[in-house]
Amino acid sequence: MKALLFVTPKRALVLMAVLAVISLVLPAFTNAYVLSVATLILYFAYLGQAWNVMMGFCGQLSLGHSLYVGIGAYVSAALFVHYGIPPWLGIWAAVLACMAAGAAIGVLAFRFGIGGVYFALLTIAFAEFTRIGFDHLDWVGGSGGFFLPVAQRDINDVLALRGSPVMFYYVMLVLTVAAFAFCTWLLRTRIGYYWQAIREDPDAAQALGINTFRYKMLAVVISAGMSALSGVFFAFYYNNLFPEQIFNMSRSIEIILGPIIGGVGTLFGPILGAVVLTVLADGITELMAVFGWEIPGVKQVFYGTCLLVVIVFLPNGIWPTLARRLGLERKEEGRRRV
């Protein structure tokens, strides 16, 4: 990692330091509302990075990522409510469950040579299947919802994920930064190189000795496991879970919007995308509230339009262009990705 510091241009390091400072002290300077928005940004930034591992690095399009968030949420919540198992233990079960789900999808798809659009449809089908399944699962509340006991907000217990919004903010901040570090590291390993090769040209990758099945599976499983954590967070932050909401296709779409707008395959793209989307979406909702318009669906139309504009004019996302303009590109040997 030290080598990383030497080749990253000074500007980028400065920018990262500034961002780090801002995000660390944010809670001290803002009100509860801004804090909740910031937490939401971090949530999507983290989740976007998790999805990006599968799509951006390895080229496998998942449109059913809400599956993992939902499973992670329900597993940890059920263990907590039914057996009193605290989240810092429940997380392991949640991650394992999600990895198993991802592995199942991966095996079914890749063993049978399903890729591209068909794979995406398969991921949707699994998510929808699970959504309807959970609607009928009374052990976790079924369609009526699953509720966690809301504890007092003044005691901050990180391990039990009970506490003030500030605590949740920092938890999400740590997760997001950890994910960023993890992804940065991953890209520079053999796994990262192999994933990118598979993304660019799976047949050529195979001809170079890459077992594409193994590495695609790895991407799916890692992505699923990472997403599980955001599910756990979701469960203990919002304290209620409904299959209709958490497994919904709209959730899956929200997850991918950030990375696509920010820049699929880049390290900073998902984070930037999450910021842009959440800020703008919130801005629009606020603006409309000012005028007294409360029309359902406006936010989504906005999302759709953003997506459309980015795909048509900036197909690689905002970040690559932005990074070039700001002179932030790393001049490292052989690499042009930030």
Site for other proteins in 44-73 (CB under 8 A): 55, 61
If we measure between CA atoms, which residue out of 275, 110, 250, 208 comes closest to residue 283?
275
Tell whether residue 287 is a contact of other proteins (CB under 8 A): no
Tell whether residue 122 is a contact of other proteins (CB under 8 A): yes
Window contacting other proteins (CB under 8 A); options: 6-14, 86-94, 184-192, 224-232: 184-192
Q: CB under 8 Å to 136, separation ≥6 — which residues? A: 142, 143
Tell whether residue 273 is a contact of other proteins (CB under 8 A): no
Taking phi over 0 as left and psi of -120 to 50 as alpha, with beta for the rest, 121 belongs to alpha
Please give the Cα distance from 56 to 114 (Å, whole number): 18
Q: Which helix (H) or strand (E) holds 147?
A: strand 146-147
Q: CB under 8 Å to 66, separation ≥6 — which residues? A: 127, 246, 247, 248, 249, 251, 252, 255
Site string for other proteins, 228-257 (x = CB under 8 A): ---------------------x---x----
Site for other proteins in 300-319 (CB under 8 A): 300-301, 303-305, 307-308, 311-312, 315
Tell whether residue 11 is a contact of other proteins (CB under 8 A): no
Smaller CB separation from other proteins, 15 or 124: 124
Q: Is 216 within 8 Å of 106 (Cβ atoms)?
A: yes
Window contacting other proteins (CB under 8 A); options: 4-12, 29-37, 76-84, 104-112: 104-112
Kindly tell me which residue out of 2, 296, 313, 325 binds other proteins, with binding defined by CB under 8 A. 296
Grouping H, G, I as helix, E, B as strand and the rest as coil, residue 33 is helix
| Nearest distance in Å: CB 21, other proteins | 32
| Nearest distance in Å: CB 14, other proteins | 24
Tell whether residue 128 is a contact of other proteins (CB under 8 A): yes
Taking phi over 0 as left and psi of -120 to 50 as alpha, with beta for the rest, 139 belongs to alpha
